[in-house]
Chains A and B, each alone.
Chain A
Amino acid sequence: MATRKILLANDHIPGIQTYEVYRRQGGYRSVEKALKNMSPDDVVEEVKRSGLRGRGGAGFPTGMKWSFLAKPEGVPRYLLCNADESEPGTFKDRYLMERIPHLLVEGMICASYALGCRASYIYIRGEYKWIVKILERAIEEAYANGWLGENILGSGYSLDLYVAPGAGAYICGEETALIESLEGKRGNPRIKPPFPALKGLWDCPTVVNNVESICAVAPVINDGAEAYAAVGVGKSTGTKLISACGNINNPGVYEIELGLPVEEFIYSDEYCGGIKNGKQLKAVVPGGSSVPILPAQLILKTANGENRLLTYESLADGGFQSGSMLGSGGFIVYDEDQCIVRNTWNFSRFYHHESCGQCSPCREGTGWMEKVLHRLEHGHGRMQDVDLLVDIASKIEGNTICPLGDAAAWPVASAIRHFRDEFEWHVREPQLSQQRNYGLAGQTLATV
C-alpha cells in the first residue's frame, strides 16, 4: 500500500524550492483561506480538531497548546519555530526546510495568524548555515509576493518573519533554552512555571513548535481537520516524518501514515529495505537517542504479542518495562554486530557534553555515567558498575530543571534493562569484549 503523502506530496517536483513552482502546486492556499474566511480562533479550532500532535518529541496536542497562550491587552505574542534539530538520529526537519522551505513559511503565517503574532522567528541550529539562506530566500520571496509584511491580502493582518541561527548546543532545542538563546544568552533552560505560554520571549506570551508541526498546519487548513484526522490511528492522527538510520539498506526520511507496523517499516523496500548485509536485527531506538532502546522482539511486537505500530500509543505500550516512545521520529537500527555497551557509552558522552551544567544531578550524573560506561566498554569494569549505573540514572531522572536529565538517564536504564547480560559479559570477559568489541553478537538473544 502506497502511503498517502501530506507534507511530502510535492517534494519530488523540480524547482519546488522556488516560489513560482510552489505556488503553482497550490502553495499558500491555506493562507488565503485562513485570512479571508476564518477568524484566528477558527484556525485554532481547526488544528485542535485535526488531532495534530507536536512533532518535536513530546507529542503534545498542538491546538491545545495554542489555546493556552495568554493574550493580555497591549502585549506582543510570539511564535517560535523550533528548527534546532539536534537529537541524535533525527534529520527530518532539515529535509523539509531544504526541499520545501515555502511549506514552513506558509505554516508559520497560518499559525502566527491563529495566535495573533505580529513577528515570528525560526530558530535554527547554526550548523544548518546553508538552510538559513534557503529560508531567508523563501521569506524574501514571500514578502515580494505579498504573503508577509503589512496588511497581508488586504486582511488587515500584518506579520514579519525572521530566521535566527544558534551556534552549536543541543540544549537550545529545549523550549526555554531556545528562548534564552534567542535573547542572545547562554542556553540555560528556565525553571517552569512560568510557562512560555505566559512568559516566554522577552517575558511575552510565546508558543514554541517544531518545524514539522508547523508545516502540518497548512494541509490541515487546506483540506480541513476531518481529512487530516481520517489518516492515522486513534489519537495518533495524520502522518509523521521518520528519519531512519543505522544498519539498514535505505537510510533516509520517510513520511508514513501513523499506524504503519514497525516490521513493515523496517523490512519493506518502500522504507528501510531491511537490515544491511543480510544481518539480523538486534535493537532499535525508535524516537531519537533520548527514548528507551528496545531489543528486536520488543520493537516488532509488544509484550502482549501485538504488532508494534508507529504511533505514540503503540510505541509506548508497556511503559518503561517493555515500551519506548515515538519521540522525534529518529529511528536508529542496530544489527547483530553492534555493541550495546559501546553505543550506550557514546550516548552518555553526548549528554554529558550537552548538559548545560545548571543542575548538579545532570551535570555530575551524566559525567559519572560516561566514566563508568567508558571503563566497562574498555574492559576495566566491575560487576557492581552495572547496578551503579542504574542507581545514577534513577537519581538524575525527575530531579532536574529540564528534561535533558531524563533524556540522559533513559538510554542507560533501558539498555541495562534489556541487555544486562551484555554489560555483565564485558566485566566477565574483558579481553574477549576488547577483541571483538561487540557484545554477544549472534551468541544469545537479548533478554527482555
Chain B
Amino acid sequence: MNNNPHPSIEFSLEMMAEVERIKGQFPEGKQKSALLRVLHLAQEEAGGWLNIPVMNQVAKMLGIQPIEVYEVATFYTMYNLEPVGKYVLEVCHTGPCAIEGAERIIGYLEQKLGIGVGHTTPDGMFSLKTVECMGACGYAPMMQVGEFYHEKLSEEKIDRFIEDCKAGKVNVGSWKIDKLAIN
C-alpha cells in the first residue's frame, strides 16, 4: 500500500448523498455492507486510487475500524493502491480472450504506449493492466476503460481509441447514479 503523506480529501456533497443512499440499503448496524461500493466512489473522487488517509476517511464514514477497510481494499482487484493514469486500460488475458489474440493486443499497447503491463505513462495519461475474464469472451479480445467495455479489439480500434483519449473525447463513466449512461 502506498502510504503517501498527501492529506485526506474533501468528498463532494454529491458523493456524500450517494453514500447515505447506499447505507440506507442495509439494516441498522450493518452499514459495513456498504463498504465495497463506497470504496468505489471514494477511489473515483480520489483520482483513481486509494491511499491510507482516504481509506481512513471511509472507515469513519461507515463507523468501522481502518483495518477493516485495508483488508477489503487489498483483496479486490478493482481497487488501486498506487497512483494510476487518467485512463486505465484493463485488458483481459484469460483463455477465451487469449485464443482471440489478447496477447497480441497487449503487446501492441505496450509498444504504442511505451510502457509495460502494470505501469503508467510518464505524462500520467495511461495505465496498462491485465485482468482475468470479464464476461465478454464472445466479443474478444476486449478491454475495460472506466465504466465501459471495448470489445472485438483490433490495432485500428486501439489507434482510434488512444487518439480519442488524447483529444478528451472518451467517456469513462462514473459510479454516481445520477450520471446515468444508458438510453
* A complexed with B: yes
Binding site for B on A (CB under 8 A): 17-18, 76, 85-91, 93-94, 119, 121, 125-130, 133-134, 136-137, 160, 162, 164-170, 181-187, 202, 243-247, 251-253, 289, 330, 332, 334, 338, 342-343, 346-347, 350, 353-354
Q: Which residues does chain A contribute within 8 Å of B33, judged by CB atoms?
A: 164, 182-184
* B34-62 contact mask (Cβ, 8 Å, vs A): 1 or 0: 11110110000000000000000000001
Please give me the residue from chain A that is nearest to B148 by CB atom.
Answer: A130
Question: Contact: A129 with B137, CB < 8 Å?
Answer: no
Please name all residues of chain A whose beta carbon is closer than 8 Å to the beta carbon of B93 when the two chains form the complex: 346
The 8 A CB mask of B79-110 against A (1 = contact, 0 = none) is 10000000000000111101100000000000
Verify A347–B95 contact, CB threshold 8 A.
yes
Note all chain B residues with C-beta closer than 8 A to A330: 137
- Asked if A289 meets B95 with Cβ closer than 8 Å, knowing A165-B37, A167-B40, the reply is yes
- Complex: how many Å from CA A331 to CA B44? 35
- Which residues from chain B contact A164 at a C-beta distance below 8 Å? 25, 33, 36-37
Interface centre among B75, B78, B139 (most CB of A within 10 A): B75
- A130 contact from B27, B94, B138, B181, Cβ within 8 A: B181
**Minimum C-beta distance from B31 to chain A (A):** 8
Q: Are B132 and A133 in contact (CB under 8 A)?
A: no
Given contacts A130-B147, A137-B180, A338-B99, contact A184 B77 (CB under 8 A): no
Give chain B residues whose Cβ lies under 8 Å from the Cβ of A246. Answer: 96, 99, 137
Q: Is B166 at the interface (CB under 8 A from chain A)?
A: no
Give the Cβ gap from A9 to chain B, nearest Cβ, in Å.
21
Q: Give bound CA distance, A162 to B23, whole Å.
A: 11
With contacts A88-B132, A91-B135, A133-B177 known, is A166 near B76, CB below 8 A?
A: yes
Distance (Å) between the CB of B56 and the closest chain A CB?
16
Chain B: interface residue total (CB-CB under 8 A): 47
What are 16 sample pairs from A and B whose C-beta atoms fall under 8 A apart?
A: A88-B96, A91-B137, A94-B135, A133-B181, A165-B37, A167-B36, A167-B78, A168-B76, A169-B76, A183-B30, A202-B30, A245-B137, A251-B138, A289-B95, A350-B95, A350-B133
Q: Decide: A90 near B135, CB < 8 A? Known: A129-B173, A136-B177.
A: yes
B residues in contact with A91, CB < 8 Å: 135-139
Other-chain residue from B64, B72, B95, B173 in contact with A346 (beta carbon distance below 8 A): B95
The smallest C-beta distance from B95 to any residue of chain A, in angstroms, reads 5
The answer, among B27, B77, B138, for a CB contact under 8 Å with A167, is B77
Residues in chain B within 8 A of chain A (CB atoms): 25, 27, 30, 32-37, 39-40, 62, 64, 68, 71-72, 75-79, 93-96, 98-99, 131-140, 144, 147-148, 173, 175, 177, 180-183
- By a CB distance below 8 angstroms, the chain A residues around B71 are 185-186
Closest to A94 in B: B135
B99 close to A186 (CB less than 8 A): no
Residues of the B chain whose Cβ atoms lie less than 8 Å from the Cβ of A87: 133
Q: Which residues of the partner chain B approach A186 to less than 8 Å between Cβ atoms?
A: 71-72, 75
CB distance from B81 to the nearest CB of A (A): 13
Nearest Cβ on chain B to A347's Cβ, whole angstroms = 6
Q: Which residues of B contact A252 (CB under 8 A)?
A: 138
A-B pairs with lowest CB-CB distance, top 7: A167-B76, A168-B77, A251-B138, A184-B35, A184-B32, A168-B78, A88-B133
Minimal Cβ-Cβ distance residue in A for B35: A184
Query: Which residue in chain B gives the minimum CB-CB distance to A204?
Result: B27
